[in-house]
Every structure is written in C-alpha cells, then in structure tokens.
Amino acid sequence: MFRTIFYKEILENLTSRRFFIVLFLCLIIIPLGTYVSTRDFQYRLDSYQESLRQYENSRKVLEDLIDKGEPEGFRAPSPLSFLSLGLEIVMPNVAQTPRKGRPGLVDKKLDKMNLNSDQPLDNLYEFYHGPLDLVFIISVIMTFFCILFTYGAIAGEKEQGTLKYILCNSVPRYCIILAKMCSIFLALIIPFLTAMILSFLLFQGKRFALFGPNSTLPYILLGVLFSLLLIGVFINLGLLISSLTKQAASSIIILLFCWILLYGIIPRLSVVLSKIVYPIKSQQLINLEKNQIRLDNEKDVEIEINRLIIAGKNSSINQQAIRDEYWAKLESQIQNMDRDIEKKQNTQLMITTNLARLSPVSCFIRPMSEISHTGWLRYQQFREEAARFRKILNEQFYSKFEVFEEKGGGGYTNFKGDDNAPAPRFTTSQISFNDIMRNIFPDLVLLVIYNLILFSAAFVGFLKYDAR
C-alpha cells in the first residue's frame, strides 16, 4: 500500500510545474554560487601567495629581520569557503610583530603578536546581504522551496476533496504521511544534488580537490548531510502545519511566520539574550582600560628613573633594568586581563550558541562554517599558531640581543646570534576532521532530533485530522 501511495505522490511532485521551477533555479543558483565563491577564493589565495612570496624573499635570514622589518605569519584562505564563507572576511589573516615596541633601547622579547585582517573588500554592497554561498542557498532558498512543496500537502488535498477519497479506502494513515514526506524530500533533493554534482564537475579543479591526499570530499559530504537534514526539518515542519490547518492559505501564512522566526529572529535574538544573561565589557572599553594600564605603567617607570637620577645611579643599563621590571609587570597585567576577557567571551559565545540552537537553522549555519574551516575553530587555531610563532621568535631572535653601556650615558645594542641563520617561518596546519566532528556533533544530533519530533508531531496531527 505504501508503494502505491508513494508512487502517486512522487508522480504528482515530479510532474508538477513547481518541481521544474526548483530544478531550473537549483541548476542556475548553485553552480553560480559555487563559481562566485571559488573565484573569490582564488583572489584571496593569489593575495596570500604573493604576500608570502614577497615576505620569504625579503626575509631569508635573521639579519633580514633586523634590517627589513618585523616577522610576520600569514593565514591561508580555506578552499572550502564555497560551502560557507563564515568568518573568513572578518577573521585575521596576518600575525605581525607590534610596530610599537617596549620602552628602552631594544625589544629583547616579543610579548605579543598583532592579528590583523587585510582582506580586500572589492564590492561593499555584497556585505549588506551576505555572500551567495551554499549556506545561503540552503538556509534561505531551499527551505523556502520546502514551504512551497508542503503547505498544501494535507490542507490542500482536503480543500480539493481528494483526501477523503483516499481515506475511504483501507489505507493506513501512517502510509499517507510517510509517503508524502518521502516523495517531497525526494522531489527537493533531486534538483539539489544534481546541481551540486554539476558544480563539482565544473569547478572541482578550482583549488579544491575532491580526491587525493588533501581531499575535501569528507567535508563536502558532511556539509551535504547537514543540508539534507535541514531540508528534512522544514519538510516535516510543513507537513506538521499542513496537518494542523484546514486551509492551504492558513498553512502557508503560518509557515512563512515560522520561517522568519527560525531564520531571522531566533539566531539574532540569541545574541541579544546572551548579552543580557551574561554581560561583558565591550572591546572599546577593554582597549581603553588597557591603554590606561600602559599609561600608569609608563608613569611608574618615569618615577623610578627620576629616583635613579636623584640618587646618582643613572645609567642606561640601570634604566633598562627598571624598564624590564615594569614591562614584565605590565605584560603580566595585560595577559591576566586578556585571559579573563577571553574566558568571559567564550562563556558568552557558548550561551549564544546554545540559545541559537533553538532554531534548526542555527544548527546548520554554524557547523557549516566549521566544516568549511572558516569558523571559530579556525580563528582559535590561528591564534595558537601565532603564539607558537611568537615563542620561536623569542627563542631564536629577540632573546639574542644584548645592551652595552657607553661612557657618558646612552648605549647600543648588538645581535649576538648568527646573522646568517635561517629566519623562523610561520607554520600552519589544517583542523582535523575528528576535531570538527567533536565540535559540531551536538548540532548534528539536534537536527536529527528536530526531524524526528516534527515528523512524529505531523504524524499524530494527521491521525486526528478531519478530512471531511
């Protein structure tokens, strides 16, 4: 019986005008979005490679770091950004030695790395609406198609009078609702997967390899799985609303409201609520407080140096010793402040993430950025890579400077290391698939649960549905 109902439903969906509209739009929008995203990635990759080439050509040995400028590290763009641009544009991609060093004769130690972003903003208008990546296509376009396919699945057949004729036969209701869900799901994923396969065939040579040692295929398949789960959520939501309403017009109005709530309101409201539940200082206020700490530290240094002058013990080495002592104190204060701020920011981010998970759309968008290596995990990894680079620079470069005092005051510095030793290189690595899976697994489970709950609710609603 299920086979008969399913055949009837799939035939209706695959021969309907809306199926061909969806197929046409998918074959246009998804390859177009992939092309635009891979083109933008190529621009970012060219910029990264050129910056890296110029840096490595100009800073081959330690002597070059003394003569030609500060050490730098560069973050490579993600080839999977066509799935989700995520934080790619706002994420820092250069780890740079601060140009303003500590007071004194020489910066004998690198205390921090500045993380900067020099991403090109070629067309500012596109940032008003976001990029045309796969996340936008699925979370907006495909979910809207789900509404179009499901709003009349039950209520529409009741209005047409066909539902009561079907139920006049000895057809179990679970067969009807299950057949409708499967047929609509199939009618939507056929255009989606067809367009995805076409995109990969056209653009898989554009710097992301589907096969080989650095294969992106596992990440792409995981992204497709999340996409199918989100499509399933909205199909089951459509069936639920359609089985609770008597008219198709009422069904589509309620579904559009749910779509706006899940896509536009809950994810943004979660940010506001997290700030209310767990407020923290703004970055502007934090920067002002840090600046005040530095000013107070500089005043303390000047007071101590004046005491030396009054005591007749003034010398460049004694001054440097005082500056070292107070710089260490300043560094400790700033580091403790940064750790406390980072801990609070991570707590607020966790609260925001958990609140946003009330919407299945959020359970899709954030994991897709992690799968694409353009999310929070990549940002944290880049910070850790910058910290390791800073440690290497301190060991191999900054710690090898020494200060000499001259008669009559003043002094000079000398690099006591090997000038011709190779300059330290910034090293980067890819986030492992297992680390990504551990991070996004709760969202995967939630999407499965949302599908089960909504389908079960739709099934119960249809069991009680009056088809007369």
pTM for the complete prediction? Answer: 0.83
**Blockwise average pLDDT, block size 10, the chain, 468 residues:** 79 86 90 84 84 84 73 84 81 70 42 62 57 85 90 80 73 83 92 89 64 77 93 94 87 92 90 89 83 85 79 67 79 83 87 92 93 89 86 78 56 67 83 91 96 92 76
HEC sequence for the chain: CHHHHHHHHHHHHHCCHHHHHHHHHHHHHHHHHHHHHHHHHHHHHHHHHHHHHHHHHHCCEHHHHHHHCCCEEECCCCHHHHCCCCCCCCCCCEEECCCCCCCCCCCCCCCCCEEECCCCCCCCCHHHHCCCCHHHHHHHHHHHHHHHHHCCCCHHHHHHCHHHHHHHCCCCHHHHHHHHHHHHHHHHHHHHHHHHHHHHHHHCCCCCCCCCCCCCHHHHHHHHHHHHHHHHHHHHHHHHHHHHCCCHHHHHHHHHHHHHHHHHHHHHHHHHHHHHHCCCCCHHHHHHHHHHHHHHHHHHHHHHHHHHHHHCCCCHHHHHHHHHHHHHHHHHHHHHHHHHHHHHHHHHHHHHHHHHCCCCCHHHHHHHHHHCCCCHHHHHHHHHHHHHHHHHHHHHCHHHEEEEECCCCCEEEEECCCCCCECCCCCCCCCCHHHHHHHHHHHHHHHHHHHHHHHHHHHHHHHCCCCC
Q: How far apart are CA 66 and CA 60, in angstroms?
A: 11
Q: pLDDT value at position 105? A: 36
Which residues are CB-contacts of 457 (< 8 A; sequence separation ≥ 6)? 240
**Whats the size of the chain, residue-wise?**
468
Partners of 412 in beta bridges: 404
Q: pLDDT value at position 342? A: 82
Q: pLDDT value at position 207? A: 57
